[in-house]
Structure 1
Amino acid sequence: MTICAYATFADFDTDDEREPMLAAWREAGIEGRVERWDDATVDWSAYDAVVVRSVWDYILKREEFLAWARGVQSVTRLLNPYAVLESNTDKTYLRDLGVPIVPTHWSSLELPDWPEYVVKPSVSAGARDTTRTADRAEAARLAAELEATGRTPMVQPYLDMVESEGETSLLYFNGRLSHAVRRSAMLAAGATEADNARARLRTPAPDQVELAEKVLTAIPHVLLYARIDLVRLSDGRPAVIEAELTEPYLFLNYEPKAAARFATALRELL
């Protein structure tokens, strides 16, 4: 029996994809055991592979998380691999993808003249420390505050298209498209946490699939899982918001075959 660790964090009961995932692993002949990534008592070498999943507190201690990932990879298979996690946990990786991304200004100086701004740190998740403002001076101040604490700011235009078109997330397992969902705009006026968690299946357009697969081609590593988040710019072209390769929510509960596809991909890589 192949045994894999399902790496999570202290508040693992918030992960509603854990049980469907582990059930699919069992069907594929893989025993999955839930382990906290920061539990120093775990013998990671006892596993055939460690699958990084709901490690949703890594943004509070990124260096510790990366040290853990480096150590795990030295004793067993880590999926996704360390080099991917190191790059992907800081959104400055977007500058190197070589594909269209949401326009981004990486400092507090000489901000472009946009109707509205979104300001966030390059190491963040789930809109943490993210602010939307129409005041350019306020946007510059917020970006400067991030710089003062040693963080890299990301200043982007707020895109109205996300409220009508939504964000499109394409889910890939071992390089194959499993499913895609339309996600609500997290910073829309009046949006609630429940709204942000809501999604629905979507058939991605050919230009969205083409862009997502260009992103995957640009990453020189085997990926067990990838979530490519896209939005349309004002001229209708798709652009990358993020390539989620560390601990993305996979929307398994929206596509009945998704968990089995993930398990098949894991089996293939083992």
Structure 2
Amino acid sequence: MTAASPAGARRLSLLLVTDLAYEARGRRYCDEDIFLGSRLRETFDVALCHPRDAAALLEGFDTVLIRNSGPVLHYREAYDAFCSRAGELRTPVYNPLGGRGDMAGKEYLVDMSRTGFPVIPTVDRAADLPELPDVPRYVIKPKLGADSVGLRFVTAAEAAAELGRAAEGSLLVQPLIDFRHEVSFYFVDDDFQYALYAPDPERRWVLEPYAASAADLEFARRFIAWNSLTHGIQRVDACRTADGALLLVELEDLNPYLSLDRVGEEVREAFVARLKTSIASLPR
């Protein structure tokens, strides 16, 4: 699975897990991973595989890189098999599989809401619905969802009914809040790379470069520090409320889409270089 460089040094082999056929609203996952694969191949021996095939193929690779592999909800059994097999072989996985954010489900939003983190208020039990702000509509979604899978807008009564019917603790409810825009902060390891925002709240993935302030980065870094991943790509998604405050929407730490087509060449090149360095330094 490995080859020698012209200088004779052994190159690390990298299994890039991606679903090039996955269709996401407003984004082309495949283009991003084709680009990343081509650039990573400059430094590593790279092979691409579908997430359903990863468990069977990872033996012999130095590292596995999980990229735009789609919501785990669509292939839960295969993902669990991959995690188990990676553990057996002690194959380094990037991002490491101990993430506490979306990688582990959205339970962290409930926990953070209870402990006073700046997140959108979140509950997972009908008895706790009165703790949420009184608004006309609420958002309900599965804890193990991603990419808006299963997300719906409901009334308070409908939210209570849904929580009553669902398996205990399987759903989240949040108020549908008014916000100015959504903004995402992108990190490699602990290093901030760039930020993008959606000026129009109705067009989430029409993104533009965003000049993050010191206060913005302090907000984002609080969640990076909380997650305590030693390596990896993380995306901190937030919304700016009508009064100017930032609230966490989600902490994506498994396979965050990077929107690299929305940043300038200099930023994109710096991101690729930092990612290569991070992968190469992953403990083995």
User: What interval of TM-score do these two structures reach, taking the shorter chain for normalisation?
Assistant: 0.7 to 0.9
Kindly state the Cα deviation for residue 118 of structure 1 after the two structures are TM-superposed.
Answer: 1.0
Equivalent residue number for residue 24 of structure 1? 39
Mark the CA change 1:177 to 1:222 in structure 2 (over 3 Å): closer, same or farther. same
Q: Is the 8 A contact 1:173 1:265 kept in 2?
A: yes
Counterpart AA for 1:46: G
2:121 is paired with a residue whose SS is coil
Q: Identify which of 260, 263, 267 aligns with 2:273.
A: 260
2:52 is paired with a residue whose SS is coil
Residue 5, structure 1, aligned to residue 5, structure 2: no
Kindly state the Cα deviation for residue 103 of structure 1 after the two structures are TM-superposed.
Answer: 0.6
Kindly state the Cα deviation for residue 41 of structure 1 after the two structures are TM-superposed.
Answer: 7.5
Distance of 2:197 and 2:124 partners within structure 1:
28
Mark the CA change 1:24 to 1:40 in structure 2 (over 3 Å): closer, same or farther. closer
1:46 is paired with a residue whose SS is coil
Residue 37, structure 1, aligned to residue 51, structure 2: yes
Residue 106, structure 1, aligned to residue 119, structure 2: no
Q: Identify which of 130, 148, 173 aligns with 1:155.
A: 173
Q: Identify which of 196, 206, 209 aligns with 2:214.
A: 206
- Size of the alignment, in residue pairs? 256
Q: Is the 8 A contact 2:52 2:75 kept in 1?
A: no
Counterpart AA for 1:56: G
Mark the CA change 1:127 to 1:86 in structure 2 (over 3 Å): closer, same or farther. closer
Q: Identify which of 79, 85, 88 aligns with 1:74.
A: 88
Kindly state the Cα deviation for residue 259 of structure 1 after the two structures are TM-superposed.
Answer: 3.1
Unaligned runs of 5+ in 1: none
Q: Identify which of 161, 177, 191 aligns with 1:141.
A: 161
2:109 is paired with a residue whose SS is helix
Kindly state the Cα deviation for residue 212 of structure 1 after the two structures are TM-superposed.
Answer: 1.2
Kindly state the Cα deviation for residue 12 of structure 1 after the two structures are TM-superposed.
Answer: 5.3
Give CA-to-partner distance per residue, 1:29-71, whole Å, 9 cap, x none: 1122101222177431211100111221411343541331232
Mark the CA change 1:41 to 1:208 in structure 2 (over 3 Å): closer, same or farther. closer
Q: Is the 8 A contact 2:102 2:254 kept in 1?
A: no
Give CA-to-partner distance per residue, 1:124-175, whole Å, 9 cap, x none: 1111111123x32122223334x24x552211111211xxx21111000121
Give CA-to-partner distance per residue, 1:226-248, whole Å, 9 cap, x none: 00111124443212111100111
Q: Is the 8 A contact 1:120 1:143 kept in 2?
A: no
Equivalent residue number for residue 132 of structure 1? 153
Mark the CA change 1:38 to 1:30 in structure 2 (over 3 Å): closer, same or farther. same
Larger Rg: 2
Distance of 2:55 and 2:138 partners within structure 1:
45
Equivalent residue number for residue 190 of structure 2? 175
Give CA-to-partner distance per residue, 1:91-131, whole Å, 9 cap, x none: 00234456321111212335232232111111111111111
Kindly state the Cα deviation for residue 85 of structure 1 after the two structures are TM-superposed.
Answer: 7.1
Kindly state the Cα deviation for residue 87 of structure 1 after the two structures are TM-superposed.
Answer: 6.6
1:16 is paired with a residue whose SS is helix
TM-score by length of 1: 0.84
Counterpart AA for 2:69: V
Equivalent residue number for residue 5 of structure 2? none
Unaligned runs of 5+ in 2: 1-10, 24-28
Distance of 2:101 and 2:235 partners within structure 1:
17
Distance of 2:195 and 2:54 partners within structure 1:
36
Structure 1 segments of 4 or more deviating over 6 A? none
Mark the CA change 1:213 to 1:36 in structure 2 (over 3 Å): closer, same or farther. same
Q: Identify which of 33, 53, 61 aligns with 1:47.
A: 61
Equivalent residue number for residue 246 of structure 2? 238
Counterpart AA for 1:25: L
Q: Is the 8 A contact 2:186 2:194 kept in 1?
A: yes
Q: Identify which of 90, 96, 119 aligns with 2:140.
A: 119
